[in-house]
Chain A
Amino acid sequence: MSALFKARKVLAVCLHGSRSLSQLAELPETHQLLRQTCRDFADRELAPIAAMLDKEHVYPAKQIKELGTMGVMAMEVPEELGGAGMDYLAYSLAMEEISRGCASTGVVVSVNNSLYIGPILKFGTEEQKKQWISPFTAGDKVGCFALSEPGNGSDAGAASTTAYQEGEEWVLNGTKAWITNSWDASATVVFATTDKKLKHKGISAFLIPMPYPGLSLGKKEDKLGIRASSTANIILEDCRIPLNNMLGPRGAGFKIAMQTLDSGRIGIAAQALGIAQASLDCAADYAHKRTAFGAPIGKLQAIQFKLADMAVAIESARLLTWKASLLRDAKKAFTKEAAMAKLAASEAATFCSHQAIQILGGMGYVTDMPAERHYRDARITEIYEGTSEIQRLVIAGQILKEYQS
């Protein structure tokens, strides 16, 4: 009898294992349909306006609303709360396709899904989920995530924004920097020190609606890329919020931030994949059409080697991203894989966009072709949600742990 149970368990593990592995080789039908739907949306609604959005720094409000109607703004959120109730593999696919059309739109989607809704979904009370998630699923309201400060980015544990309790309120003071979506957001997750002596264990997470008394925004940063998404400081001056606006337990802020960023990394990896793929699409198309030395330049080995290297970089980063998603969906540890995916994908994006300009030559340098925009958009993916250097530290940390005797 027990042998039969053991056999069934082994079979179940094998089947589950093979299901995950085969999903890397061929996506399930729903995911294929989802990917195609997002691709059609990106091709028809985002790609035609991406250059204009970038040039004029315009927030794509109409497109975000449409994505909200489709369920893309709250993909992991259960249907009862207004979301699409899908898994992270689906989210990665959607993010890549959206970003392939417009990288700025991609980051708005990613921040709302992973950085704003993510921590509330994981650490919020049922009441908080209803109040802070449900109104943010339809695309008319987006949220943001305020961790970095002028004095610390990678050094997140040194948060100098403070929060002290006064009666039935928390009072927050400090400045947060580089906050994506800030000018378009209706709420934010903010990290502040509640107990300075406990260092990073003394940081807590809070929820603040926007606009709100005591919360003001700095000037919109004039960025190199992803210009349709707003980035600015959030300044807190005696900002008073109710006690139950704390997210998660007191002192859990650092842990919440790190876990949130683990998942956010998968979203950004997917965004970088979209930018990289768009660069490859642009370059490969050009290689067919542009003639030099009496033939399309695609016939030249120098160009062929570039295209091959670009494709390999993208496909490997994509598989890492899918693997990280599948592990997260299976509720297994995914910190190392998520960091690897973000590192690989962001470096693939900068590599591919660089090579795309090279293949396009002079045409790659002018705004008539999207190659220059991809180059500018790609650069930030190696910096935000954990610099490439931080990713390497995370990966090394995991590896050393594995090899500990």
Chain B
Amino acid sequence: MSGRVLVGVKRVIDYAVKIRVKPDNTGVVTDGVKHSMNPFCEIAVEEAVKLKEKKLVKEVVAVSCGPQQSQETIRTALAMGADRGIHVEVSGNDYETLGPLQVSKIMAALAKKEDAQIIILGKQAIDDDCNQTGQMTAALLDWPQGTFASEVTLDGDKIKVVREIDGGLETIKINTPAVLTADLRLNTPRYATLPNIMKAKKKKIANVKPADLGVNLTSKLEVLRVEDPPQRQAGMKVETVEDLVGKLKELGKV
């Protein structure tokens, strides 16, 4: 057992920024806009670092796929306590079309190369809300998956995962190696301490190209159009329940 955890961290537009659609409707404005680590990825990093502090795993490796700026996201993970980073360089058109399928192929290849025992990802990214990368990675590796995790407990060579599902909470026990995806209530991510920010400077970030991992980034998806959601319309006031039902029938809702 390598005791190695791979954590995926994605650079996304900061959650507090007001998103604006590009005038040509091909996407959203990203130039000059504040970016940060996807909040669910922060939770994933925190969980991995916690496992290391409890001495249940030996090494935490932060991985990010993207352009040069993705290195900042990896540095933040290092400042939170990850041991080293891997930056998979993807830029230009490849980056525009980078999606869960491509990233999961990269994660699977890295998991084999790094002999990872656990992969922890955020349950979804706040820009595309796909909620697919974890599941696809597990499928490609034929590993068990514990998704929407709100509690993770290592038990020998198994992991007990409490999952948040529509009906409530589901507890499962899976073998390692495994893929976990972090949900909101898994933990509260720490702020990097100043000494750790200084130490992060000395930690290594390796540069890797997708081709080196034998991964083909071609996407079969094409974004046709990006639009603002419809403007919120004014409502209507009615006097009685009969009026309400009548209006709903009129609008074809009932």
Residue of A nearest to B71 (CB): A29
Q: Are A90 and B191 in contact (CB under 8 A)?
A: no
Q: Are B79 and A84 in contact (CB under 8 A)?
A: no
Among B188-205, those with CB < 8 Å from A are 191-195, 197-198, 200-201
Q: Are A70 and B76 in contact (CB under 8 A)?
A: no
Task: Report Cα–Cα, A362/B36, bound state, in Å.
Answer: 35
Q: Are B192 and A33 in contact (CB under 8 A)?
A: yes
- For chain B, the bracket of interface size reads 10 to 19
Q: Which residues of B contact A29 (CB under 8 A)?
A: 75, 201
Q: Which residues of A contact B197 (CB under 8 A)?
A: 30, 33-34, 37
Task: Report Cα–Cα, A71/B199, bound state, in Å.
Answer: 13
Is B221 an interface residue when CB atoms closer than 8 A count as contact?
Answer: no
Is A75 an interface residue when CB atoms closer than 8 A count as contact?
Answer: yes
Interface centre among B16, B79, B194, B200 (most CB of A within 10 A): B194
Among A242-271, those with CB < 8 Å from B are none
Closest CB of chain A to B20's CB: distance in Å? Answer: 12
| B interface footprint on A70-83 (CB within 8 Å = 1, 0 otherwise) | 11100100010000
Q: Are A70 and B194 in contact (CB under 8 A)?
A: yes
Is A380 an interface residue when CB atoms closer than 8 A count as contact?
Answer: no
Task: Report Cα–Cα, A206/B189, bound state, in Å.
Answer: 41
**Contact (A69, B79) CB under 8 Å given A30-B198, A30-B201, A33-B200:** no
Q: Which residues of B contact A71 (CB under 8 A)?
A: 193-195
Is A66 an interface residue when CB atoms closer than 8 A count as contact?
Answer: yes
Closest CB of chain A to B177's CB: distance in Å? Answer: 32
**Contact (A84, B191) CB under 8 Å given A33-B75, A33-B76, A33-B79:** no
Q: Are B201 and A72 in contact (CB under 8 A)?
A: no
**Contact (A85, B191) CB under 8 Å given A33-B75, A33-B79, A43-B16:** no
Q: Are A70 and B191 in contact (CB under 8 A)?
A: yes
Among B170-193, those with CB < 8 Å from A are 191-193
**Contact (A70, B198) CB under 8 Å given A33-B76, A37-B79:** no
Q: Which residue from A30, A40, A84 sits with its C-beta under 8 Å from B193?
A: A84
Is A384 an interface residue when CB atoms closer than 8 A count as contact?
Answer: no
Task: Report Cα–Cα, A66/B79, bound state, in Å.
Answer: 16
Task: Report Cα–Cα, A70/B189, bound state, in Å.
Answer: 13
Q: Which residues of B contact A33 (CB under 8 A)?
A: 72, 75-76, 79, 192, 197, 200
Is A158 an interface residue when CB atoms closer than 8 A count as contact?
Answer: no
Q: Are B16 and A84 in contact (CB under 8 A)?
A: no
Task: Report Cα–Cα, A40/B195, bound state, in Å.
Answer: 17
**Contact (A70, B79) CB under 8 Å given A30-B198, A43-B16:** no
Residue of B nearest to A40 (CB): B191
Q: Are B194 and A90 in contact (CB under 8 A)?
A: yes
Is A86 an interface residue when CB atoms closer than 8 A count as contact?
Answer: yes
Task: Report Cα–Cα, A33/B75, bound state, in Å.
Answer: 8
Q: Are B192 and A70 in contact (CB under 8 A)?
A: yes
Q: Are B16 and A85 in contact (CB under 8 A)?
A: no
Q: Are A41 and B194 in contact (CB under 8 A)?
A: no
Q: Which residues of B contact A40 (CB under 8 A)?
A: 36, 191
Q: Which residues of A contact B193 (CB under 8 A)?
A: 69-71, 84
Q: Which residues of A contact B200 (CB under 8 A)?
A: 30, 33
| A interface footprint on B31-75 (CB within 8 Å = 1, 0 otherwise) | 000001000000000000000000000000000000000001001
Closest CB of chain A to B218's CB: distance in Å? Answer: 34
**Contact (A85, B198) CB under 8 Å given A33-B75, A37-B79:** yes
Q: Which residues of B contact A72 (CB under 8 A)?
A: 194
Task: Report Cα–Cα, A71/B201, bound state, in Å.
Answer: 17
Q: Are B16 and A34 in contact (CB under 8 A)?
A: no
Q: Which residues of A contact B201 (CB under 8 A)?
A: 29-30
Among A24-71, those with CB < 8 Å from B are 29-30, 33-34, 36-37, 40-41, 43, 66, 69-71
Among B1-54, those with CB < 8 Å from A are 16, 36
Q: Are B195 and A84 in contact (CB under 8 A)?
A: yes
Residue of B nearest to A33 (CB): B197
Q: Which residues of A contact B72 (CB under 8 A)?
A: 33
Residue of A nearest to B190 (CB): A69
Q: Are A75 and B191 in contact (CB under 8 A)?
A: no
Closest CB of chain A to B179's CB: distance in Å? Answer: 28
Q: Which residues of A contact B198 (CB under 8 A)?
A: 30, 84-86
Q: Which residue from B16, B76, B194 sits with its C-beta under 8 Å from A86?
A: B194
Task: Report Cα–Cα, A86/B201, bound state, in Å.
Answer: 13
Task: Report Cα–Cα, A395/B27, bound state, in Å.
Answer: 53
Residue of B nearest to A79 (CB): B195
Can you identify 21 A-B contacts, CB atoms within 8 angstroms? A29-B75, A29-B201, A30-B200, A33-B79, A34-B194, A34-B197, A37-B191, A40-B36, A40-B191, A69-B191, A70-B191, A70-B194, A71-B193, A72-B194, A79-B195, A84-B194, A84-B195, A85-B194, A85-B198, A86-B194, A86-B198
Chain B residues within CB distance 8 Å of chain A: 16, 36, 72, 75-76, 79, 191-195, 197-198, 200-201
Given A33-B76, A71-B195; 18 other pairs, CB 8 A cutoff: A30-B201, A33-B75, A33-B192, A34-B194, A37-B79, A41-B191, A69-B191, A70-B193, A70-B194, A71-B193, A71-B194, A72-B194, A75-B194, A79-B195, A84-B194, A85-B195, A86-B198, A94-B194
Nearest first, the 4 closest Cβ-Cβ pairs linking A and B are A71-B194, A84-B194, A70-B193, A71-B193
